[in-house]
Structure 1
Amino acid sequence: MTIETFDRMLELSALLEAEIERQLAAGGLTRSRAQVLRRLAEEGPMQQRELARVFDVSARNITGLVDGLAATGFVTREPHPDDRRATLVTLTAQGVTAARTIEEGRRELAETMFAGVPEGERHAYRGVLDTLLGNLRTR
């Protein structure tokens, strides 16, 4: 039974990934760029080095992401108000709209996925997921 459950989890993971990628591509985004937009929407403007630290990527990697987001109109680089040597990555109006759309898509996908699942089963499922994630994180 364990391997059958595992196979279903893999199938679920693949289906979720495909749907998320489809939604993001429709908005002209990749998963990495969407993560940057979501973080900026949650925390406000940030320096690139802060973004690199948050996502645990190199400065070069985050520069590429920000360059792409700036070129497509989702963010701008603005002067830092307290450090004239630094710049802040800031969402544009288009970026704010995209971040909202991403969040709405996440909520709609979750609602679709859990439609018809009673609250008690959702709670139990979350408990199982927490255990599984804990098992893998300590590995």
Structure 2
Amino acid sequence: MANSASGMAVNDECKLKFLELKAKRIHRFIVFKIDEKLQQVTVDKIGGPSESYDDFTACMPANECRYAVFDFDFITSENCQKSKIFFIAWSPDTSRVRSKMLYASSKDRFKRELDGIQVELQATDPSEMGIDIIRARAL
């Protein structure tokens, strides 16, 4: 089980849904949250393949921390279609201090459970995860 040094336990559904996003591409994004009562990371929201980055950012709560993965499609300067899986640690300045500490201390362990993340982003404000930043980090 989880302890304060290792972070939270990870619900099996998190790994399963991430594999579906990575291998089958049936999800555009997944938002995860820490359930403090269960002491584990759980799936909060899932976005379908047709959903946009704006749909994804609209799912992020203004005053609560979350982890998320987003499958970002883009075209390179050589005109090649590519995609990268982003891991986003959302920790708004307005969230509770305890929550921010919990998410920060659990992030690395949780990220290790999701094999295939290509880019990591830390955001405390919506401007820090704007589409321009995502695009620049993908290239």
TM-score under structure 1 length normalisation? 0.23
Bigger radius of gyration, 1 or 2?
1
Greater RCO, 1 or 2 (C-alpha within 8 Å, sep 6+): 2
Q: Normalised by the size of structure 2, how large is the TM-score?
A: 0.23
Bigger strand fraction: 2
